[in-house]
A and B are shown apart, each in its own frame.
Chain A
Amino acid sequence: MDDILFARLQMAFSLGFHIIFASIGIAMPVLMVFAERLWMTTGDRDYYELTKAWAKGTAILIAIGAASGTVLSFELGLLFPTFMRHAGPVISMPFSMEGFAFFAEAIFLGIYLYAWNRISPRLHLLSGVLVAVAGALSAVFVVTANAWMNHPIGFDLDENGNFVNVDPVAAVFNPYAVHEIVHMLVAAYMATGILVAAIHAFILLRHPQSALHRKAFGLAMAMVIPMTIIQPLVGDFAARQVARFQPLKFAAMEGQIRTQTHAPLRFGGFPDYETGETHGAIEIPGMLSFLGFGSASAEVRGLEEWPREDWPHPLTHYGFQLMVLCGVLLLLHTLWATFHWLFRGRRLPDSRAFLWATVFAGPLGMIAIEAGWTVTEVGRQPWVIYDILRIKESATPMPGMIVPFIVTLVVYLGLSAAVILVMHRQIRIAPGLPPTDVQREIAR
């Protein structure tokens, strides 16, 4: 039993690590390409320096994403071989298409990073665009495969539990995939954008006059603002899809233990799974029924409808609350910027208060992504393939799984520290600033 727990923790940790770099790999090329395009159209040297700086960061972070993604593709089998034994053929299509997206991303990233002087500016920009497109497509394919785990279609089960009549094409056109894909992509642009904005805001606090960092900050916010505004709408759609396809996960997310009509929307709160009450939540009466099923009087099925052993871990509830909290804070930050832009002469706020707010908002997007994936993945359990195959039936028979788990933990923690160190040094030598000790050191 403990072996299974360690296998799950290892998967959770590997995915939680990879998703940050994958998200940055999706969104960073977009910023990089916009900066390059602005350089080409305006001839402003700052945008050239910015493109170069952002491209370097992208190169480092995508490489980590590629390596940790490889680990995941092996871990599917290393940790849950029985799952892959059944799922592999059904989700063969998104995974094989993902291979090509990955190829395109790697090829054009190589060209983008190293062929500045070897190809025409237009072809160079185009290769950057292709990196961004391929990154988004990778996300589409991988998330489609995940959607299948939550809403498995495209096969039949025979009396022995074998998968028969496998139809990979039906599995790829999965109604559950749409909201997952859009929610994830918007989240990636949002979280990466706010992280980049926070870094440049931090530099601006120390060097308020830096024109380059003002431009960088503006570009990042130009990505953050529209994404943060549409994300609540996408999230609402996502919640309705979950309510429709996975009512159990919906109940777990919302801390809805009892079945009731006029179910309230809860912010925060601690569900007591023994008594069936959720304590300490701010409640809007009838709102959950309305958001989930379109009518304030609609019945929301609570956890009590399902056997206790099938209930997802309470983390599903807390993860959801954390994600929503981060989203609300980011939305407030974006509204601040938007109103300033609308009513203060089409300019972003550059007060110290707003810059500090941006610095503190920086990690919130990534925290929301981690929390949201916890909701999706933990909320699916105890199933690995929803309602079909349980985690405990799919895990590797290998004993001593604590060893690979600890190795994974140590390696990824070390790698995280190294990435932070390297990125910190990159930021210290950011262009557009007076030379630092490090730069003088290099110049010597």
Chain B
Amino acid sequence: MILPWITALVILIALIVYAILGGADFGGGVWDLLASGPRAGRHRDLIAEAIAPVWEANHVWLIVVIVLLFACFPLAFAVISISLHVPLALMLLGIVARGASFVFRHYDVAADPVQRRWGRIFAWSSVITPIFLGICVGAVSLGAIRVEGEQVVTGYFAPWVRPFPIAVGFFTLTLFAFLAAVYLTKETRDPELQEDFRNRALLAQLWVVVLALLAAFASRGDQAHVRLFEGLVPWLFTALAVVIAAVATWLLFQRRFTWARVVAAAQVAAIVAGWGASMAPYLVAPDITIENAAAPSNVHLIVLVVLGVGAFVLVPSLLLLYRIFKREPIFETLERD
């Protein structure tokens, strides 16, 4: 039964990519909300310009996660859908409001007051969505969702209305905001804007640390069975994330933005990967595992083949997209540094 583990790994990778790419789009909305001072308008324009061509493609990674989950781990999908109905529905509300208000603001020809209203909705929905995404992630890791004979027995609020999932929700928000601020330093050549977003990134990194500690504290205080922070591998990932975060912070202090962008993405990847490592073998702790939720192995095989073939089309297309729009592609600038 190695195939389900490979599929689970692919889901984790898709989640990491979603966090690195799609997460930053939500983070952009956070900085839109918090834009203030003499350059607020320029901040908002820069954020919109950076997000516009890529946000729809970045969003598809979430669809990939969902499709793989229901195709390959249908029991896990059913359990998550039932017990986390409320936070998932609120996340969807955020996703719809974010997408719609962003295009409306971008294309609507109306005068300023209407534009501002779309902008408000865009910013607030960008804040709400990551919080509820994080709450769901926190809830499946906590161990408060109990399943007996394929029936969820812990209700619709108890598994997530508690300190740990909510702490993870806000942690996710700050992490995405941090990522967006770091990326935005490379989206402009204007030194004033670069400086603004550097400062914002450093501030967000501070919040990331605070909320990480808070989440760790909340997980200790919670009665339920907790899977995070157990075992060697999760601790190794935690240590790795701390080191990478320190490097990212140092690079920001040094204003080495090209490298900061790469290292900030690595920081998020290490955190999500560490979460995945600490979750294994659980999909929904403590009752749903990779093995007991897995679809028959021929389904995994077929889906992996489809993914493999699809990757041949997807990877060049994505590279083309980022090559066109991220004016200084990561690899080119690395060579010059």
A-contacting residues, B64-103, CB 8 Å: 64, 66-68, 70-72, 74-75, 77-82, 85, 88-89, 92-93, 95-100, 102-103
- Inter-chain CA distance A119–B53, complex, in Å, is 14
> Contact at A96–B74, with CB atoms within 8 Å?
no
Given contacts A77-B77, A166-B296, contact A89 B72 (CB under 8 A): yes
Dominant SS at the B interface? helix
> Beta-carbon contacts of A287-326 to B below 8 Å, as 1s and 0s?
0000000000000000000000000000000000000000
Closest beta carbon of chain B to A223's beta carbon, Å: 23
> Contact at B302–A92, with CB atoms within 8 Å?
yes
Which residues of A sit under 8 angstroms from B209, Cβ to Cβ? none
> Beta-carbon contacts of B104-128 to A below 8 Å, as 1s and 0s?
1011111100000000000000000
A-contacting residues, B302-326, CB 8 Å: 302-303, 306-307, 310, 313-314, 317-318, 320-321, 324-325
> Contact at A96–B57, with CB atoms within 8 Å?
no
> Contact at B104–A67, with CB atoms within 8 Å?
no
B-contacting residues, A99-145, CB 8 Å: 99-100, 102-104, 106-111, 113-115, 118-119
B210 contacts A by Cβ under 8 Å = no
B-contacting residues, A417-432, CB 8 Å: 418-419, 422, 425-426, 429
Which residues of B sit under 8 angstroms from A81, Cβ to Cβ? 77-79, 81-82
> Beta-carbon contacts of A50-69 to B below 8 Å, as 1s and 0s?
00000010011011101111
- Inter-chain CA distance A78–B80, complex, in Å, is 9
Which residues of A sit under 8 angstroms from B325, Cβ to Cβ? 110, 114-115, 118
A36 contacts B by Cβ under 8 Å = no
> Beta-carbon contacts of A81-95 to B below 8 Å, as 1s and 0s?
110111111011101
Which residues of A sit under 8 angstroms from B96, Cβ to Cβ? 67-68, 70-71, 411, 415
Interface size on B, residues (CB 8 A): 65
* Chain-B contact segment, one of A27-35, A253-261, A396-404: A396-404
Closest beta carbon of chain A to B17's beta carbon, Å: 12
> Contact at A89–B75, with CB atoms within 8 Å?
no
- Inter-chain CA distance A77–B70, complex, in Å, is 8
Which residues of B sit under 8 angstroms from A89, Cβ to Cβ? 71-72, 74, 295-296, 299
State which of B75, B99, B321 has its C-beta within 8 Å of the C-beta of A85: B75
B60 contacts A by Cβ under 8 Å = yes
State which of B56, B72, B78, B299 has its C-beta within 8 Å of the C-beta of A109: B56
> Contact at B93–A407, with CB atoms within 8 Å?
yes
Which residues of A sit under 8 angstroms from B54, Cβ to Cβ? 110
> Contact at A96–B317, with CB atoms within 8 Å?
no
State which of B72, B89, B103, B310 has its C-beta within 8 Å of the C-beta of A92: B72
- Inter-chain CA distance A106–B110, complex, in Å, is 26
> Contact at B107–A56, with CB atoms within 8 Å?
yes
Given contacts A70-B63, A110-B321, A111-B320, contact A415 B310 (CB under 8 A): no
- Inter-chain CA distance A14–B314, complex, in Å, is 29
> Contact at B324–A438, with CB atoms within 8 Å?
no
- Inter-chain CA distance A197–B60, complex, in Å, is 32
> Contact at B85–A396, with CB atoms within 8 Å?
yes
- Inter-chain CA distance A438–B59, complex, in Å, is 33
Which residues of A sit under 8 angstroms from B107, Cβ to Cβ? 56, 59-60, 422, 426
Given contacts A81-B77, A103-B57, contact A76 B70 (CB under 8 A): yes
Which residues of A sit under 8 angstroms from B152, Cβ to Cβ? 397
> Contact at A426–B109, with CB atoms within 8 Å?
yes
Closest beta carbon of chain A to B9's beta carbon, Å: 16
- Inter-chain CA distance A98–B306, complex, in Å, is 10
State which of B95, B100, B318, B321 has its C-beta within 8 Å of the C-beta of A418: B100
B203 contacts A by Cβ under 8 Å = no
B156 contacts A by Cβ under 8 Å = yes
A173 contacts B by Cβ under 8 Å = no
Closest beta carbon of chain A to B5's beta carbon, Å: 17
Which residues of B sit under 8 angstroms from A60, Cβ to Cβ? 103-104, 107
> Beta-carbon contacts of A371-412 to B below 8 Å, as 1s and 0s?
000000000000000000000000011100000100100010
- Inter-chain CA distance A118–B317, complex, in Å, is 16
B6 contacts A by Cβ under 8 Å = no
State which of B74, B99, B150, B320 has its C-beta within 8 Å of the C-beta of A67: B99
> Contact at B63–A88, with CB atoms within 8 Å?
no
Closest beta carbon of chain A to B100's beta carbon, Å: 6
A167 contacts B by Cβ under 8 Å = yes
Given contacts A56-B107, A71-B92, contact A111 B310 (CB under 8 A): no
B254 contacts A by Cβ under 8 Å = no
A353 contacts B by Cβ under 8 Å = no
> Contact at A106–B306, with CB atoms within 8 Å?
no
- Inter-chain CA distance A47–B75, complex, in Å, is 52
> Contact at B324–A118, with CB atoms within 8 Å?
yes
What would 20 more interface pairs be, CB under 8 Å, given A76-B70, A100-B306?
A60-B103, A67-B99, A70-B96, A71-B92, A73-B67, A74-B92, A78-B88, A87-B74, A98-B67, A99-B63, A103-B317, A104-B313, A106-B59, A107-B320, A111-B53, A111-B320, A114-B53, A115-B324, A411-B93, A438-B110
Closest 6 pairs between A and B when the two form their complex, measured CB to CB: A77-B81, A92-B71, A89-B295, A67-B99, A88-B74, A106-B56
Q: List 21 A-B contacts (CB under 8 A).
A: A60-B104, A63-B100, A63-B102, A64-B103, A71-B95, A73-B63, A74-B66, A78-B88, A81-B78, A84-B74, A95-B70, A100-B310, A102-B60, A106-B56, A113-B52, A166-B299, A168-B298, A168-B302, A415-B96, A418-B100, A419-B100
Interface residues, chain B, CB within 8 Å of chain A? 52-54, 56-57, 59-60, 62-64, 66-68, 70-72, 74-75, 77-82, 85, 88-89, 92-93, 95-100, 102-104, 106-111, 150-152, 156, 295-296, 298-299, 302-303, 306-307, 310, 313-314, 317-318, 320-321, 324-325
